[in-house]
A and B are shown apart, each in its own frame.
Chain A
Amino acid sequence: MHTVVLTKGVPDFREGQVSFDENGHLERGKTPTVMNPNDKFALEAALQTRVRHGGNVSLMSMGPPGYKEVLQEGMETVYADDLYLVSDREMAAADTWATAITLSAAIENMDEMPDIVFAGFKTADGETGHTGPQANWCLDMPLVTHVISLDIDEEERTLRAKRLVEGDIEEIETVEVSLPAFVVTDPEFVPSYRTAGERLTLKDLRAETQARAPDYEDYLTVWDHADINVDPDYIGLDGSPTIVSSVDPIPKAPAEREATMVDPSDTEGMTEVLEAMQSAVGGDATAAEGD
């Protein structure tokens, strides 16, 4: 089974990593770039396929040269046999449509067409969820989104997936498609290894990918637009129909309202807190004391 996983580098939005200026604008220079967290579920799904059916997993991204470290992160923390970075000045400032065209052209440029292409459910910075399905519009394979678990029948060349209907955790349906197929994993995706044999293979593969990761550039292929044979007019800024008219700052979250800090050893302060809590629930602080 040959699988390709699409990923993107995004700002690390975790607390302590991300940096905003006083206007609430993201400071890209001060914020590290990491693999889009949702894409790890896609890579986990590819790894599960690799464990159960063999083959190889290619991890692919379109972006600036620095994204090769994002690919390394995927190789180290989950799994990859080889890495593809599609990178070119002509591709800069692409919207989801131009990105989808570029990625699908890169996939078609591979020596062997994949049996499954995996993508994560939307990126942490763009939040559109367009790129995967649009890339598949070009590739023209059956598309299954919001996948939470999957099984493959190699002989029948079919993929059976459980997916959340409308992304709702309460409603799950099972769908079956023929291969090759395009799968978008949901953040609820959980890989399943129910036999010792699978877990032993998983352990081997995890050890192998971690051993590869420091020398990830030996496994990296970098392609520009000429390598994948696309017209510069259809990619990057020139190929992007999206127009961003303006950006509105996100209002402060209500959790950031004013807070008073009280040291637990401060008896007077704590009494005030208790009284405030009592009055909030409609009780009487002095009556409670005697209980």
Chain B
Amino acid sequence: MSEYEHYEAIVVGTGPGGAAAAATFANYGIETLVLERGVEGGSKNVSGGLIYAEESAPYTIDDLFPGFREEASERPITDYQIHNIAGDKVESYDLTKLHEHDTEWSDSVLRRKMDSWLEDRVHERARETGGGLLTGVHVNGLLREEGKIIGVTTDELDPITADVIVAADGVNSELARDAGLMDWDEPEEWFQGVKAVVDMPADVIAERFDIDEDEGVAHLFSGDLFQGVRGGGFLYTNRETLSLGTVFHLDSIVAEQAEPHELLDAMLTHPLLGQWLGDDYTELEYSAKLVPDSKKVALREPHFGRLLVVGDAAGQMQAQGPIIKGMNHAVTAGALAAEAYAEAKARSEPEKAGSHYAKKLRTEGVMQKLRPRGYEMMRGITEGETVSGVVDSVLKSSVGRFGIRAMSGQLERLYNTPSLTSMIPDTQTPYVTLPTVIGEELGTPVTGTSSVTPPSLEERIGDLTYDTDIGKPHIKLLDNSYEASGAAVSACPVSAVGFGGGCYREEVVRTNGSEERVVSLDTQPCVECGTCAVVADTDWEHPRGNKGVEFKWG
């Protein structure tokens, strides 16, 4: 009946999830069209910067893309440390054992380099199937016929139909939302990360971190340096750069009215980091993204009709204390989704691809990692206000402090226990109180000082590359009252109270003698993280293909 252009499979997004899905479709000889909205793979992508290959995973990125580690990643991470900070006192634990648990390898990555490398390979392989990869195409929704999903609609092309659609369109997935699988309502369900990529020659990295060419270091930071906001920071060594960032529970950022860039600066300027950052701090790129909390939002059934959702779009981001794994799960899910479709089709029941995919996520152990049973069981107890309040008070009391001192020999071992980290509750205790008390009771003062002066928010925005879609803002403020949308003024990583150059600004309007606080929006400096879609009342979509921010590092 319809005269639409048709491909057997459409994959939306060419991050690790989309790339894995497309490569797997290609392995089955399935004609696959991949649509990416950025000017190049990775130009819209940001991640903390570690990708894992898990021993227990059925698919890893280097299985699907030979040469990945040699050509697309930065350094293998061979040393993993966590620092418990209280003022200038620090107690550090070696978490290498936890990091190596179930780990075949782990590399630091920069997403522009990594994803653009994947893009070339995905195009080549998809082209052999009769499809291929197109950049600059923004898939803006699902195409339906008689209520059923039959394809996708885009800003740039006529509608396209497909037998199967894999949504790998990231944390702000417009397709998952269109299908009713995700909403963007609850700040409790998300983390927000901000990141700085810092220039540092390889020989300086080798000297300051005491590592060889084929070694890399990961440092995690928690304690009292983040104004009580729940979360922590990281530092990863790349080949000739460092990735430094902070990740916090979005509800905590909102509750504390914290400015994300200031939290990042608190870490960058802490004396502990002076030894690594030196007196020649050069920031190459400031970026931000939302991170789904898989414990709460990972979809148990990430599919609807012909639509299969993978990666961040399906909430598949595991962040449990010091364990932060997202890209590896996206790779596994992408490959499993394509495999599920191929198998269902072989049995002449392609309509069962979605449920088959969900089953694979369970039987392959992915869902257990994303939604650990331990957390589900303990959550009711440990996240209750009474219990967490008591635990916090006890920890801070002389009894708790005595306990921490008494346990000093075992704390490092406990931190390295995977089953315990999976149960870590989302409360003040593990993120702030415990590390602070450990730092206070067991820490030693940092000897060095910091001479880092981070760029201002204005400078950071000024250094980013934008292709503004003039006259077509991709975010609309539906309710500009301060009550509905005021949280965005501080929570938006490119806005700040009193800063006139950001996306969100607070204004006072005087009418008929009364004053009203309202919020105004200018999307020009937007980094497309999606924070305001959750914390403010907006109509939020991605910019058209090739438009908006373009990350050079990611």
Q: In the docked arrangement, what's the CA distance between A196 and B33, Å?
A: 8
Q: Are A200 and B131 in contact (CB under 8 A)?
A: yes
Q: Given B7, B127, B157, which contacts A199 in the complex, CB threshold below 8 Å? A: B157
As a 0/1 sequence over residues 108 to 134 of chain B, the CB contacts with chain A under 8 angstroms (1 = contact) are 000000000000000100010001101
Specify the chain B residue showing the minimal Cβ separation from A200.
B132
Chain A positions within 8 Å of B127 at CB level: 200, 204
A197, CB-defined interface residue at 8 Å: yes
CB contacts under 8 Å to A, within B79-132, are 123, 127, 131-132
Specify the chain A residue showing the minimal Cβ separation from B126.
A200
B497, CB-defined interface residue at 8 Å: no
A53, CB-defined interface residue at 8 Å: no
Interface band, chain B: 10 to 19
CB contacts under 8 Å to B, within A176-235, are 193-197, 199-200, 203-204
Specify the chain A residue showing the minimal Cβ separation from B158.
A194
Q: Are A199 and B134 in contact (CB under 8 A)?
A: yes
B459, CB-defined interface residue at 8 Å: no
Q: Are A200 and B134 in contact (CB under 8 A)?
A: yes
B391, CB-defined interface residue at 8 Å: no
Q: In the docked arrangement, what's the CA distance between A15 and B123, Å?
A: 38
Q: In the docked arrangement, what's the CA distance between A204 and B128, Å?
A: 12
B371 to chain A, nearest CB (A): 36
B5, CB-defined interface residue at 8 Å: yes
B6 to chain A, nearest CB (A): 10
Chain B positions within 8 Å of A197 at CB level: 5
A1 to chain B, nearest CB (A): 21
A198 to chain B, nearest CB (A): 9
Chain B positions within 8 Å of A203 at CB level: 123, 132, 134
Q: In the docked arrangement, what's the CA distance between A195 and B160, Å?
A: 8
Q: In the docked arrangement, what's the CA distance between A196 and B153, Å?
A: 12
Chain A positions within 8 Å of B160 at CB level: 195-196
Q: Are B134 and A195 in contact (CB under 8 A)?
A: no
B392 to chain A, nearest CB (A): 51
Q: In the docked arrangement, what's the CA distance between A197 and B158, Å?
A: 11
Chain A positions within 8 Å of B33 at CB level: 196
As a 0/1 sequence over residues 128 to 168 of chain B, the CB contacts with chain A under 8 angstroms (1 = contact) are 00011010010000000000000000001110100000000
Q: In the docked arrangement, what's the CA distance between A194 and B137, Å?
A: 11
Chain A positions within 8 Å of B157 at CB level: 193-196, 199
Q: Please count how many residues in chain A sit with their CB below 8 Å of the partner chain's CB atoms.
A: 9
Chain B positions within 8 Å of A200 at CB level: 127, 131-132, 134
Chain A positions within 8 Å of B132 at CB level: 196, 200, 203
A275 to chain B, nearest CB (A): 25
Chain A positions within 8 Å of B156 at CB level: 194
Specify the chain A residue showing the minimal Cβ separation from B4.
A195
Q: In the docked arrangement, what's the CA distance between A100 and B485, Å?
A: 65
CB contacts under 8 Å to A, within B23-51, are 33, 35
A68 to chain B, nearest CB (A): 31
Chain B positions within 8 Å of A195 at CB level: 5, 157-158, 160
A106 to chain B, nearest CB (A): 37
Specify the chain B residue showing the minimal Cβ separation from A196.
B33
Q: In the docked arrangement, what's the CA distance between A122 and B82, Å?
A: 67
Q: In the docked arrangement, what's the CA distance between A200 and B31, Å?
A: 13
Q: In the docked arrangement, what's the CA distance between A65 and B5, Å?
A: 46
Q: In the docked arrangement, what's the CA distance between A194 and B154, Å?
A: 10
A193 to chain B, nearest CB (A): 8
Chain A positions within 8 Å of B158 at CB level: 194-195
Chain A positions within 8 Å of B134 at CB level: 196, 199-200, 203
Most buried by B among A193, A194, A196, A203: A196
Q: In the docked arrangement, what's the CA distance between A99 and B379, Å?
A: 83
Q: In the docked arrangement, what's the CA distance between A242 and B134, Å?
A: 50
Q: Given A193, A196, A204, which contacts B7 in the complex, CB threshold below 8 Å? A: A196
B520 to chain A, nearest CB (A): 21
Chain A positions within 8 Å of B5 at CB level: 195-197
Chain A positions within 8 Å of B35 at CB level: 196
A197 to chain B, nearest CB (A): 6
Most buried by A among B35, B123, B134, B158: B134
Chain B positions within 8 Å of A199 at CB level: 134, 137, 157
Specify the chain A residue showing the minimal Cβ separation from B5.
A195
Chain B positions within 8 Å of A196 at CB level: 5, 7, 33, 35, 132, 134, 137, 157, 160
A175 to chain B, nearest CB (A): 25
Q: In the docked arrangement, what's the CA distance between A193 and B157, Å?
A: 8
A77 to chain B, nearest CB (A): 17
As a 0/1 sequence over residues 9 to 50 of chain A, the CB contacts with chain B under 8 angstroms (1 = contact) are 000000000000000000000000000000000000000000
Specify the chain B residue showing the minimal Cβ separation from A194.
B158
Q: In the docked arrangement, what's the CA distance between A193 and B131, Å?
A: 16
A135 to chain B, nearest CB (A): 36
Q: In the docked arrangement, what's the CA distance between A204 and B160, Å?
A: 20
Specify the chain B residue showing the minimal Cβ separation from A202.
B134
A291 to chain B, nearest CB (A): 14
Q: In the docked arrangement, what's the CA distance between A194 and B158, Å?
A: 6
Q: In the docked arrangement, what's the CA distance between A197 and B160, Å?
A: 10
Q: In the docked arrangement, what's the CA distance between A161 and B239, Å?
A: 54
A48 to chain B, nearest CB (A): 15
B245 to chain A, nearest CB (A): 34
Q: In the docked arrangement, what's the CA distance between A200 and B132, Å?
A: 7
B30 to chain A, nearest CB (A): 15
Q: In the docked arrangement, what's the CA distance between A196 and B137, Å?
A: 9
Q: In the docked arrangement, what's the CA distance between A105 and B217, Å?
A: 70
As a 0/1 sequence over residues 471 to 485 of chain B, the CB contacts with chain A under 8 angstroms (1 = contact) are 000000000000000
Specify the chain A residue showing the minimal Cβ separation from B136.
A199
Q: In the docked arrangement, what's the CA distance between A200 and B158, Å?
A: 14
B135 to chain A, nearest CB (A): 9
Most buried by B among A195, A200, A203: A200
Q: In the docked arrangement, what's the CA distance between A89 and B33, Å?
A: 53
Q: In the docked arrangement, what's the CA distance between A218 and B132, Å?
A: 30
As a 0/1 sequence over residues 84 to 125 of chain A, the CB contacts with chain B under 8 angstroms (1 = contact) are 000000000000000000000000000000000000000000
A203 to chain B, nearest CB (A): 7
Chain B positions within 8 Å of A193 at CB level: 157
Q: In the docked arrangement, what's the CA distance between A43 and B5, Å?
A: 27
Q: In the docked arrangement, what's the CA distance between A235 and B496, Å?
A: 70
Chain B positions within 8 Å of A194 at CB level: 156-158
A151 to chain B, nearest CB (A): 14
Q: In the docked arrangement, what's the CA distance between A204 and B131, Å?
A: 12
B38 to chain A, nearest CB (A): 15
A211 to chain B, nearest CB (A): 14
CB contacts under 8 Å to B, within A154-181, are none
Q: In the docked arrangement, what's the CA distance between A197 and B35, Å?
A: 12
Q: In the docked arrangement, what's the CA distance between A197 and B127, Å?
A: 11
Q: In the docked arrangement, what's the CA distance between A193 and B137, Å?
A: 12
Top 4 nearest A-B pairs (CB, nearest first) are A200-B132, A194-B158, A195-B5, A199-B134
- 15 new A-B contacts, CB < 8 A, other than A194-B157, A196-B132, A204-B127, are A194-B156, A194-B158, A195-B5, A195-B157, A195-B158, A196-B7, A196-B35, A196-B157, A196-B160, A199-B134, A199-B137, A199-B157, A200-B127, A200-B134, A203-B132
- Subset of 12 A-B contacts with CB under 8 Å: A193-B157, A194-B157, A194-B158, A195-B5, A195-B158, A196-B33, A199-B134, A199-B157, A200-B127, A200-B132, A200-B134, A203-B134
